[in-house]
Amino acid sequence: METYHLTVNGQRREVTVDPSTPLLWILRDNLKMTGTKYGCGISACGACTVHLAGTATRSCVVPISRVGDRPIITIEGIEADPVGRAVRNAWVEHDVVQCGYCQSGQIMTAVALLKQTPKPTDANIEESMGGNICRCGTYVRIREAIHDASRQLK
């Protein structure tokens, strides 16, 4: 067991855990932040996506020992970000969600995309969002909501 100091959504947190524990399970089991979802555990579905120093990252395959001092932003903290707010509002406006389980990861990936590429093409969207599975098949609305959020952000 090791002790780690993390910055999650701007707050300092301390956990004492096995160094191999993926960030996903630190968030869910230790910090009780369940907005970040477990879907596959092998970085193949994107449900667990968080921002690690601003980069969309699959938290299910990042051991806590590799996080270092990089700040972590999760779905619970995305409201503080103007791009985050625009994406979330577009998601609601376009009635994107169905079961909603993958949507934390979809939103986190979309926010990272728009921060890097404010006016994404369909090809940009497919490249960035290409690893996020939505089993309900909300992709058409995800695409529309991203374009709309991009327009709202000007």
Q: Is 8 a residue that touches other proteins (CB under 8 A)?
A: no
Half-sphere exposure of 64 (CA within 13 A, CB side): 27
Give the per-residue contact string, 37-76, with other proteins (x = CB under 8 A; - = no): xxxxxx-xx-x--------------------------xxx
Rounded to whole angstroms, the Cα distance separating 121 from 87 reads 16
Using alpha carbons only, how large is the chain's radius of gyration in Å? 15
Say which residues have a Cβ less than 8 Å from residue 18's Cβ, sequence separation at least 6.
1, 2
Judged by phi (left if over 0) then psi (alpha if -120 to 50, else beta), residue 34 lies in: alpha
Interface residue with other proteins among 10, 79, 80, 119 (CB under 8 A) is: 79
Sign of the torsion angle spanned by Cα atoms 102, 20, 5, 52: negative
The stretches of 42-102 forming alpha helices (DSSP H) are: 82-93
Q: How far is the CB of 5 from other proteins (least distance, A)?
A: 19
Give the per-residue contact string, 117-146, with other proteins (x = CB under 8 A; - = no): -----x--xx--xxxxxxxxxxxxxxx---
Interface residue with other proteins among 5, 66, 95, 116 (CB under 8 A) is: 95
Identity of the residue, 30 or 117, whose beta carbon is nearer to other proteins in the bound complex: 30
Residues that bind other proteins (CB under 8 A): 1, 18, 20-22, 25, 28-30, 32-42, 44-45, 47, 74-76, 78-79, 88, 91-92, 95-104, 107, 122, 125-126, 129-143
